[in-house]
């Protein structure tokens, strides 16, 4: 006689059990990642194991956990593909000469009288085009620090201008991993997310620009020549690459796709193919070189140009050019998959709903919800010191709360970036803060007041939250559709 199927009983977590995986992850990242410099991925996996044990304790089984993780991965797969395509495009833009050309002409416009505003704007442009704050600060930023030292300028102010510019571009660039992760975690189209960032980023940019411009006017000017390092960088770039206006075509394609809101991946691929053609037609690289660049990244050592010896170039050149390629995104993708695994496991237990419910008891307006999001972002980046985790986790925790209050998730994505992405480099104990201080030769707390863009974003986010300016609300149809996705997911988990 067949035994009747025993119905599975699933219990709800207590607040202690709901918090345990998150507290575990925070402690592991704080102690292991910050103090002992251990890689974050295994620490997140250990936290996932804790979350899985709790899920089983509450009545779920292994298949339930795997199905929940699979659903999370399926939802984020488009954004993951974008990240891979971004690496592809950076490699193509580099070997095609697009990025080197923008750097070259950016260096050309240095005016010692307006050093701060020039450093801010040029670093912003380079970072916007490359999607890397670290690379921009470590190359163009170092060049500007050399100019500042030669002019006996306020080096803390120069460093602040560089950091602010680097993170302006990092925040708004479709090539940036953090920008893509913020769009991924909130389920928002990449270009729509970038467009919404303008509400807080543009005012911050204007305020920062005004500060640098006024400071420059007050400090006077100088006719001192550009430092030799800057000249060397420019000479090397012009030796390796042939400049042509058509090299800007890949940038225009991305800008057109962004303005017209075309599908992200096809636009990036078209831009990449044009850049690859530029690499072969105008730069003289072989098809093998081009394919290698989009897979493994551009490498100065592979250049075969008459009169150019890669072994003799200054270290700034490889730091500037040796980047891109799909493989360059593997580190970001790995931590992304680990975080998604953790999020999928913890979401099965409905722990996030319980925690968010407790938080939202103190939230009674859009402004207070923005404040709660900022507090969450600041806490995550301050404790974990990891920008990627600090973007992914608040997005996962608070997205449903925004939707149920009739607020578009892109408000959440913007606030997360305002309180995590651009705050990271002004905290001395984070990897970004330590990198910027070491690279630019100025202590983090010294350049912090001058990195105006990095902390004014929070101010504008709070003002817009309480005034309603720049806050996008969902239509009833959009809200119903998004809530249906949550309800369907919950129903699937309960089966």
Query: Encoding tokens for residue 410?
Result: 């892109």
The residue with greater pLDDT, 311 or 470, is 470
255 within some domain: yes
Above 90 in pLDDT, residue 455?
yes
For the stretch 171-215, pLDDT in tens is 888 878 788 888 888 888 888 999 999 999 999 999 999 999 999
Residue 297, sorted as left (phi over 0), alpha (psi -120 to 50) or beta, turns out to be left
pLDDT grade, residue 359 (50/70/90)? Answer: confident
432 within some domain: no
Domain span holding position 119: 79-329
419 within some domain: no
Neighbouring residues of 36: CB distance < 8 A, sequence distance ≥ 6: none
Q: Is the dihedral of CA 362, 366, 368, 373 positive or negative?
A: positive
- Classify 406 as helix, strand or coil: coil
Q: Which runs of consecutive H residues, i.e. helices, occur in 405-467?
A: 409-416, 431-440, 444-447, 452-467
For the stretch 250-293, pLDDT in tens is 988 877 876 776 787 898 899 999 999 999 999 999 999 999 99
How far is it, in rounded angstroms, from Cα 353 to Cα 401? 9
92 within some domain: yes
How far is it, in rounded angstroms, from Cα 461 to Cα 375? 12
pLDDT grade, residue 28 (50/70/90)? Answer: confident
How far is it, in rounded angstroms, from Cα 86 to Cα 333? 12
473: β partners: 407
How far is it, in rounded angstroms, from Cα 293 to Cα 276? 9
Which pLDDT score is estimated for 364? 84
Q: Which runs of consecutive H residues, i.e. helices, occur in 97-227?
A: 98-108, 115-130, 133-136, 142-150, 155-172, 177-186, 190-219
Above 80 in pLDDT, residue 302?
no
pTM above 0.95, yes or no: no
The arithmetic mean of pLDDT across residues 159-164, rounded, is 95
The arithmetic mean of pLDDT across residues 440-466, rounded, is 92
For the stretch 413-422, pLDDT in tens is 999 999 988 8
Above 80 in pLDDT, residue 108?
no
146 within some domain: yes
392 within some domain: no
Which helix (H) or strand (E) covers residue 316, if one does?
helix 316-321
438 within some domain: no
pLDDT grade, residue 1 (50/70/90)? Answer: very low
396 within some domain: no
- Closest to 400 (Cα-Cα) out of 445, 449, 359, 339: 359
Exposed, middle or buried, 85 (CB in 10 Å: 0-12/13-18/19+)? buried
User: What single DSSP character describes residue 141?
Assistant: I
Structural domains of the chain, count = 1
The arithmetic mean of pLDDT across residues 21-35, rounded, is 83
């Amino acid at each position: 006689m067949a035994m009747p199927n025993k119905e599975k009983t699933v219990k709800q977590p207590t607040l202690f059990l709901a918090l345990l995986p998150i507290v575990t992850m925070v402690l592991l990242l704080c102690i292991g990642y910050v103090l002992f410099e251990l890689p974050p991925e295994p620490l997140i996996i250990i936290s996932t194991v804790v979350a899985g044990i709790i899920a089983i304790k509450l009545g779920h089984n292994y298949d339930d956990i795997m199905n929940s993780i699979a659903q999370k991965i399926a939802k984020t797969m488009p954004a993951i593909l974008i990240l891979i395509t971004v690496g592809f495009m950076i490699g193509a833009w580099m070997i095609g000469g697009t990025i080197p050309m923008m750097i070259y002409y950016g260096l050309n416009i240095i005016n010692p009288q307006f050093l701060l505003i020039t450093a801010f704007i040029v670093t912003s442009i380079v970072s916007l085009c490359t999607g890397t704050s670290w690379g921009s600060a470590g190359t163009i930023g170092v060049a500007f620090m050399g100019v500042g030292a030669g002019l006996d300028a306020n080096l803390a102010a120069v460093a602040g201008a560089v950091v602010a510019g680097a993170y302006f571009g990092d925040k708004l660039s479709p090539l940036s991993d953090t920008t893509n992760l913020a769009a991924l975690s909130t389920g928002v189209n990449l270009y729509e997310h970038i467009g919404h960032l303008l509400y807080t980023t543009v005012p911050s940019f204007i305020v920062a620009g005004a500060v640098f411009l006024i400071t420059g006017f007050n400090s006077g000017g100088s006719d001192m020549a550009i430092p030799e390092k800057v000249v060397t960088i420019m000479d090397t770039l012009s030796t390796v690459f042939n400049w042509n206006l058509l090299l800007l075509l890949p940038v225009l394609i991305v800008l057109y796709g962004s303005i017209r809101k075309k599908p992200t991946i096809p636009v990036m691929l078209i831009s990449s193919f044009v850049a690859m053609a530029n690499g072969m037609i105008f730069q003289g690289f072989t098809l093998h070189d081009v394919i290698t660049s989009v897979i493994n990244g551009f490498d100065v050592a592979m250049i075969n140009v008459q009169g150019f010896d890669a072994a003799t170039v200054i270290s700034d050149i490889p730091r500037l050019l040796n980047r891109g390629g799909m493989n360059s995104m593997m580190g970001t993708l790995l931590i992304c998959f680990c975080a998604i695994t953790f999020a999928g496991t913890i979401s099965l237990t409905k722990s996030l709903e319980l925690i968010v419910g407790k938080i939202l008891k103190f939230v009674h307006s859009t402004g207070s919800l923005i404040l709660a999001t900022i507090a969450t972002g600041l806490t995550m980046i301050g404790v974990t010191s990891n920008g990627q985790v600090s973007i992914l986790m608040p997005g996962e925790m608070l997205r449903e709360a925004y939707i149920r209050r009739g607020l578009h998730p892109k408000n959440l994505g913007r606030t997360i970036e305002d309180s995590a992405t651009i705050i990271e480099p002004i905290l001395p104990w984070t990897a970004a803060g330590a990198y910027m201080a070491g690279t630019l030769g100025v202590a983090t707390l010294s350049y912090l007041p001058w990195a105006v863009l990095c902390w004014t974003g929070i101010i504008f986010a709070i003002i817009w939250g309480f005034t309603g300016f720049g806050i996008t609300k969902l239509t009833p149809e959009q809200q119903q559709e998004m809530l249906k996705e949550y309800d369907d997911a919950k129903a699937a988990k309960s089966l």
